């Protein structure tokens, strides 16, 4: 493992109880930092924080609800004193259905968590980062936001919107010490696979020239670098982790 420098800094990782969020939190801690895991599953987040050690904390947060996020910001600052990095990792896939069969309520849930959640968390955390004069925001998008996966219209649309939000916010903050970027992984084996049909999993694998899925550790390494001081001239950018699938 390459040594990245996040020493003395504190990060918030949404959806940190499992999957990519947990792996990212683990890498940030290994790089010298501390983390607060925001997750709507309080019990799972507490267990994950305990397993990660004394520099990990947990808060129950519904990222789609502004009052919940505002309360979490206050709670995080009360414990850690600052928020140096925000990693928006919370997300859901939604059903694998054709658009004309897609339930409206399911569409709204995907958008509420995947897109509204990123917007609300950025909205509530950016003022604190502006006061500090420094910060890093990393949003977890997806190659589906570039390609548009069939039978995943809500997920694909939400991730495309996350990329656009990242670019807008990155430009708005370009003259500050805050950098805003996103990563666009191809499929990575996480608990999200439990929400997918076997046919959809096979379709995703068929699109990856490397012939394998990505790993949590590979995504965590890229995200951790984007949270460091070394990421100084990249902002409003989308970083691919697609095994050769993305060609633009």
The catalytic residue positions are 155
φ/ψ of 88, rounded to 5, equals -90, 90
Distances in Å between the Cα of 65 and the Cα atoms of 27, 118, 119, 190 are 28, 11, 11, 25
Is the separation of the CB atoms in 127 and 82 below 8 Å? no
- List the one residue out of 214, 191, 218 whose CA is nearest residue 204: 214
Pairwise CA distance, residues 137 & 169, whole Å: 10
Which residues does 84 contact at the CB level (< 8 Å), separation at least 6? 9, 10, 11, 33, 129, 132, 134, 135, 136, 227
Is the separation of the CB atoms in 68 and 40 below 8 Å? no
| Local structure of 121: helix, strand or coil | helix
Is the separation of the CB atoms in 121 and 86 below 8 Å? yes
């Amino acid at each position: 493992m390459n040594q990245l420098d996040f020493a003395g800094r504190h990060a918030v990782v949404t959806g940190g109880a499992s999957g990519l969020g947990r792996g990212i939190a683990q890498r940030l801690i290994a790089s010298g930092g501390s983390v607060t895991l925001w997750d709507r599953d309080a019990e799972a987040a507490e267990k994950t924080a305990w397993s990660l050690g004394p520099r990990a904390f947990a808060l129950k947060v519904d990222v789609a609800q502004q009052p919940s996020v505002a309360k979490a910001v206050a709670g995080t600052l009360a414990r850690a004193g600052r928020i140096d990095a925000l990693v928006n990792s919370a997300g859901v896939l939604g059903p694998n259905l054709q658009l004309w069969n897609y339930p409206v309520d399911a569409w709204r849930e995907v958008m509420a968590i995947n897109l509204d959640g990123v917007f609300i968390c950025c909205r509530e955390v950016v003022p604190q980062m502006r006061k500090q004069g420094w910060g890093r925001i990393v949003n977890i998008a997806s190659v589906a936001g570039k390609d548009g996966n069939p039978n995943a219209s809500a997920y694909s649309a939400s991730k495309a919107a996350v990329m656009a939000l990242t670019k807008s916010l990155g430009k708005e903050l370009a003259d500050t010490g805050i950098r805003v970027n996103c990563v666009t992984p191809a499929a990575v084996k996480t608990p999200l696979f439990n929400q997918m049909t076997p046919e959809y999993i096979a379709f995703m694998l068929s699109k990856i020239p490397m012939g394998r899925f990505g790993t949590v550790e590979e995504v965590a390494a890229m995200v951790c670098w984007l949270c460091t001081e070394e990421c100084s001239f990249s902002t409003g950018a989308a970083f691919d982790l697609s095994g050769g699938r993305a060609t633009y």
